[in-house]
Structure 1
Amino acid sequence: MSTRTPEPPRMSPQVAAEQLTDRMGIQILELSRERVVGTMPVEGNRQPFGLLHGGASGVLVETLASAVAALHTLPDRFPVGLELACTHHRSATEGLVTGVATPLHVGRRTSTIEVVITDERGRRTCTGRLTCMHLEERPGPPPA
């Protein structure tokens, strides 16, 4: 009789991302290697003062930028976030925000993508940057 613990089922990165994007209300409108565009509602993603939560903006940045990195690297390499930076310029209190992700650098081992988030009036609310490391093997669960 084996005492080995069975390996937990693996959830694909796409399924995990879809679950978070669904909860946040993120919709992808445009998807190409040159640019990824998506929207997110402010409603449901506010902090206690009624403003769009900065963490929600970070989720939008990482979602859109990761899509750009994946379009450049998969299936040969697997992009994983290395550094996320967001500068919040103004608050959004209602409607939709739109993020536009464009690659600043795509190399063999890393990529850096910029995401500009604007409100419905076209005013910049946040500028984000995600740097990804490109792994040679698909990431899995950490060792026990």
Structure 2
Amino acid sequence: MSMKNTLMETLGIEVVIANPEEVTLRMPVNQHTHQPMGFLHGGASVALAESAASIASFLNIDPKSQQVFGIEINANHIKSVRSGYVYGTAKPFHIGKTTMVWEISIIDEKEQLISISRCTVGVVALKNS
């Protein structure tokens, strides 16, 4: 899985932990992830959350015969942040054959909750498999 030329690369998102039970990503809070008033953009938080859920889902499939796609995501933004890094950790609620549901907590460097998301991911069979 390459992060080159992706939204993750554009936003500066890096993988910290990646296994089938938990994925943690790190994203800088800077000019690339700010909204116009200088705070972390809610859309950047959602991109971090869905990226964590998607990678976690990918780690739970057979990539030779399956692929994953986000179906639905929601987010509640709890606290704002202006600088530093935020960490998004995806943990499973449900890992099924055709769908997965992940809870993603986004915290800052002080371990304060910034945002909480739930993401549903679909598992799709690849054609010719």
Does structure 2 conserve the Cα–Cα contact (< 8 Å) formed by 1:110 and 1:131? yes
Question: 1:25-104, aligned counterparts within 5 Å?
Answer: 25-43=12-30, 44-75=32-63, 76-104=65-93
CA distance in 2, matches of 1:67, 1:102: 11
1:117 aligns with 2:117: no
How many residues are matched?
125
Per-residue displacement from partner, 1:38-90 (whole Å, max 9, x unpaired)? 11001020001111000000110011100011111132321111001111001
TM-score by length of 2: 0.91
Superposed structure 1 runs of 4+ greater than 4 Å apart: 14-18
Q: Which 5+ residue runs of structure 1 have no aligned equivalent?
A: 1-13, 139-144
The structure with the greater share of residues assigned to helix is: 1
Q: How many Å separate the matches in 2 of 1:87 and 1:136?
A: 32
Higher strand share: 2
Say if 1:25 and 1:117 are closer, same or farther in 2 by CA, change over 3 A: same
Gaps of 5+ in 2: none
Q: Are 1:135 and 2:117 an aligned pair?
A: no
Displacement of 1:16 after TM fit? 6.9
CA-based RMSD: 1.5
Identity over the aligned pairs, expressed in percent? Answer: 33
